Amino acid sequence: MSEASTDRVADRPAEVTDPLLWGLAAAVADAHQPDDERVCASPSCAGAAWPCAAWNNAQAGLSAARTPRQPAAPRQPAASPQSTSPRPVVAGQPGAPGTVAARTDARSLTATAA
């Protein structure tokens, strides 16, 4: 762990609710500081005017890390395949399991009886 990361932990405000987000956003903000000509010093910005998009996003991350977490919404039970059926399935009706087999058996009994 670098010295900068340990300083960042000590500098973290008490109201931070997401320490991981805070640390990552602070690291990005530190890497995207302006030089003497108000140009982003980070090589990934390739001379972009400061404040660059990465620095702005880091500021949004620092703000979000201070936002109180919302409680998770209660989970809804998963619907079972039977509960999504629009009508009950009755044996012998089209779409019912075993319907084709039942018709075939009835035909073979009729053919055997004749």
| Contacting residues for 28 by C-beta, under 8 A, at least 6 apart | 54, 55, 57, 58, 61
In a domain, 53, yes or no: yes
The pLDDT tens digits of the residues spanning 52-110 come to 999 999 999 999 999 877 777 777 777 655 555 556 666 666 655 555 555 555 555 55
In a domain, 80, yes or no: no
Are 21 and 66 a contacting pair, CB within 8 Å? no
In a domain, 48, yes or no: yes
In a domain, 102, yes or no: no
In a domain, 85, yes or no: no
Peptide bond into 13 cis (omega under 30): no
pLDDT at residue 1, rounded to an integer: 39
- Is the confidence at residue 37, as pLDDT, over 60? yes
Q: Which domain holds residue 43?
A: 3-64
Domain count, the chain: 1
**What three-state secondary structure class fits 39?**
strand
pLDDT at residue 71, rounded to an integer: 72
Indicate the burial class of 23 (C-beta count within 10 angstroms; 0-12, 13-18, 19 or more): middle
Rounded Cα distance between 66 and 9, Å, is 14
User: 29: closest CA among 67, 57, 10, 63?
Assistant: 57
